[in-house]
Amino acid sequence: MSKTIFEKIADREIPANIVYEDDACIAFTDAFPLSKGHTLVVPKKPIENIYELDEETGAHIMKVITKVSNAIKEAFEPAGLNVVQNNGEYASQSVFHIHFHLIPRYENEYDGFGYVWEQDPDTRDDEEKKVIEDAIKHQLNV
């Protein structure tokens, strides 16, 4: 299996603007940023998506996401910041190595980022909501 672009960046086979690195993960500015400070946080080991992410790596990467997000906030003072992570082609994952986009948002600046967040048009009654709740709890053994 060939390396992903993110593994190649971590192995210094491809140049990148690295802003943070430790033994487990790396953070670098996006090669095609949506806004000033758009940064990716990536575990070094090859993990395809959230479904394969182990708890230890997930907890560590969340600490790094928080640290880098705060550095972006201090450096550029954005009005907000989106943390975006996609899983699977249908959800717009294009590199099949889990990664988190930190996208600073600035007032009155077009950044090309957007999504539609609309409520599911199929209104679910309380009974159906309970069935959904129970199905998830069953998988969690709760």
Residues annotated as catalytic (active site), given as ranges = 99
How does strand 100-105 pair with strand 80-84? antiparallel
Q: Mention every residue, 6+ apart, whose C-beta is less than 8 A from residue 19.
A: 27, 28, 29, 39, 68, 71
The two structure tokens encoding residue 3? 């390396």
Cα 4 to its chain centre, rounded Å, is: 16
